[in-house]
Structure 1
Amino acid sequence: MTVLKKTDLVPPFWLPGGHLQTIYPALLRKITDVNYIRERILTPDDDFLDLDWSFSKTKSGKLVILSHGLEGDSNRQYVLGMVRLLNKNGYDCLAWNFRSCGGEMNQTSRFYHSGATDDLDHVVSYAAGRGYQEINLIGFSLGGNLTLKYLGETERHLNPLIKKGIVFSVPMDLKACSLAIIKRENRVYMQRFMNTLLPKVSQKAKLFPDHINMEKGSLVKTLYDFDDIYTAPLHGFDSADHYYESCSSMFFVQNISIPTLIVNAMNDPIVPVRSLPLDLVISLSNVQLELSRYGGHCGFRPSRVFNAVYWSEKRALNFLQSENL
């Protein structure tokens, strides 16, 4: 399988560089015509997950499950844009919200993390019971890593209804990306994440004071610190490094058995292209990696937008509808 180092994505001339191609869609793209129906399901550990369904007018029996990024939710523009296009083309969509991301704090001491595939598996199992003939998975950023890890876990019997996987802007090497976001030019992204992560931990600490020590909060200066002090111990890892080593999807992709598309931009400021396991992916028969010269992180706005559709959404639909990898 070849790595496609070029795609047909051409960004607007007025959005030069990966930062603007990341920030513009995140802040200024508005999608108001997706209508979700929310459903709450319980988890085996007495917590809950909020699922947002959006149904196609055409009953094709096909479902796409979408996993958002770090501190995102089902209402992020990259999720909504994808849902809208897929609905118009006969796919029902289920955009699930990670624990603590659906607008209400979850009930257990744990949150979510880049490798929490037990929750994704619970969502898949629940959706499979709704009578669908085909299920596909799409993930963005952290949700992309989660999706790839899930598809490649050898100890898990993958539901035969799952036919394809698609991920965008995926941090396959979690440590490399955690260190990249510390750079001065990326601090705006890290600060945005920290502005919501730290208040969540503070709120959680009041509910579970024996599990979370907020006195260490002053030591958290970076996302790496946050993962080392909070994410890792809350989820059974010894340290941030142990967490990254255990959950980075680059250690799982070689076991993926269904057609899977990975799309990353070469100018992604959060996921350096050098962090991607290019040599490994080239050798895989079921995984295709496309490197776009442009797109930023979860951006992918084309120079000309037809019917409000972004390039990444068209690419995902094309891959889902294609008979070949």
Structure 2
Amino acid sequence: MDQLVKQIFPEYKPTSWLPNGHFQTIYSAILDTSNIDKVDYRRHTLRLRDGGNISVDIHNPGRSKLAVICHGLTGGSHESYVRTVIAQLGEDVTAAVLIARGCANTRLSTPRIFSAGQVNDLRTAVLYLKNLYPSAEMVAIGFSLGANIITKFCADEGNGCPFKAAVVLANPWDLHKGSQELESSYLGHYFYNRAMSSSMLALLNAHEYAFKDTHAAELAEVNSLRWPTIRQFENIITRKVGGHPPDFPLPDAETYCIWSSSANYIEHIKIPILALNSEDDPIAFKAAWPEPSDEYKTSPSNLYKCKANPLVHILHTKHGGHMSWFEGGHPFSFFKAGPTYDDNYPPPRRWFAKPVAQLVGELLTDAFAPAPGAARKPVKVNNGDVEWETDDANHTDFVGYSVIAAGDEVIHGGEESKKTVSQGL
């Protein structure tokens, strides 16, 4: 993995007028990307064992290679950071984006939301894709919160992991440390913290009907706070409805953060993972990254293997912000509406898109070992649902689906990007 990464990823040179992580991250959040990397999808919607819904947006269906993608906080397949990678994938790769509960026009049908550590919905999406494309090889791509979910999922699956490898970008890794860092800085506490919590609150209120019978008091409490922080939101809402029993409800936000942090599980990962992180990321802090192995602690290289597991590699850049990594571009492009790349003032492009897509293509070749869990098969059960062939009680109780819609709805990624809040976070 490390040699391949060194060959594929060029040196990152940030856009001159976006010189640090704050500029990069804020630009990412306000950039109009509706005319950039236009990607269309077919939406598949699944009813889950607990009555909830998820969607899987599929681009370029039916290929023998499959990239399974998890978006960031309150995001979806419309996000520019998702589309820019999908646009670079080869024609021989199908891209499937898991849309979390309540996100991107996926109806929230139960009082249970997505969270940073709940991986059963990803298990169910993979189960569906395995049933849909039984011979396809899979690599995972995760962004921010989705990067944490992918990493924790790979650890939970261990020798049964259905992915050959994974690429995760801007993983927050240790949510407890990250939360402490976020609340200790002025911009972190008063800007990023509240931008993220406001997105969560907007999602919650858009699906108020799902909570009014069971969690009306919590809904009222979090709305009574003028600007709730992420920690307050987690303490009032997520620790109670962000996962399945027996883990949930959790006693407090700190316990939730420790439970969900992928950094606490990486020793169990059995597949190669490349993580891309920026040292000036104002959300996924360097202080929360996994420790490098001893031989890398004094190395000048910006690529290291993790001490807890040498299969996990971290490629880090000095700049890049949170899921941004913009390079090139003309400053006048900032003032345009609906920017395109065929004029005199091109906007910046995300540096990671081409190398990530190229790496995924390489990982899906025979040069890399098959997924350790490639032989696992879906089976149909008496009520027509589909589940994994397993004796794991967690899987049989919470991992399984019935199909609500199988690709009839077309999702236009560029058009949907205009409807988001706090995009890029």
- Bigger mean CA deviation after superposition, 13-22 or 187-196: 187-196
- Residue identity opposite 1:28 in structure 2: L
Whole-angstrom CA distance in 1 between matches of 2:17 and 2:311: 37
Matched, 1:258 2:271: yes
Where do 5+ consecutive residues of structure 2 fail to align? 243-247, 294-304, 331-340, 343-347, 370-425
- Residue identity opposite 2:359 in structure 1: F
Size of the alignment, in residue pairs? 320
SS, match of residue 39 in structure 1:
strand
**Quick check: 1:37–1:54 contact (8 Å CA) kept in 2?**
yes
SS, match of residue 327 in structure 2:
coil
Higher RCO (C-alpha under 8 Å, 6+ residues apart): 2
Query: CA, structure 1 residues 238+205, in 2 after alignment: closer, same or farther (shift >3 Å)?
Result: farther
Report deviation, 1:256: 1.0
Which of residues 288, 292, 308 in structure 2 aligns to 1:275?
Answer: 288
Partner of 1:288: 313
Whole-angstrom CA distance in 2 between matches of 1:60 and 1:37: 14
* TM-score, structure 1 as length reference: 0.89
Whole-angstrom CA distance in 1 between matches of 2:229 and 2:138: 37
Whole-angstrom CA distance in 2 between matches of 1:141 and 1:263: 10
**Quick check: 2:274–2:314 contact (8 Å CA) kept in 1?**
yes
Matched, 1:101 2:70: no
**Quick check: 1:7–1:292 contact (8 Å CA) kept in 2?**
no
SS, match of residue 54 in structure 2:
strand
Q: Alpha-carbon deviations, 1:142-199, whole Å to 9, x = none?
A: 000000000001578322xx21101000010011222333332123222222223224
SS, match of residue 36 in structure 1:
strand
**Quick check: 1:140–1:298 contact (8 Å CA) kept in 2?**
yes
SS, match of residue 254 in structure 1:
helix
Which of residues 191, 215, 223 in structure 2 aligns to 1:211?
Answer: 215
Query: CA, structure 1 residues 155+324, in 2 after alignment: closer, same or farther (shift >3 Å)?
Result: closer
Partner of 1:316: 356
Query: CA, structure 1 residues 295+93, in 2 after alignment: closer, same or farther (shift >3 Å)?
Result: same
Whole-angstrom CA distance in 1 between matches of 2:101 and 2:18: 34
Query: CA, structure 1 residues 206+55, in 2 after alignment: closer, same or farther (shift >3 Å)?
Result: closer
Which of residues 195, 200, 203 in structure 1 aligns to 2:203?
Answer: 200
- Bigger mean CA deviation after superposition, 221-230 or 180-189: 180-189
Matched, 1:62 2:65: yes
Based on CA coordinates, which of the two structures has the bigger radius of gyration?
A: 2
* TM-score, structure 2 as length reference: 0.69
- Bigger mean CA deviation after superposition, 65-74 or 150-159: 150-159
SS, match of residue 13 in structure 2:
coil
**Quick check: 1:61–1:133 contact (8 Å CA) kept in 2?**
yes
Report deviation, 1:29: 4.8
Identity of aligned residues (%): 26
Report deviation, 1:271: 1.4
Query: CA, structure 1 residues 156+215, in 2 after alignment: closer, same or farther (shift >3 Å)?
Result: farther
1:68-147 matched pairs, under 5 angstroms: 68-86=71-89, 88-131=90-133, 132-147=135-150
Query: CA, structure 1 residues 22+122, in 2 after alignment: closer, same or farther (shift >3 Å)?
Result: same
Where do 5+ consecutive residues of structure 1 fail to align? none
Matched, 1:173 2:174: yes
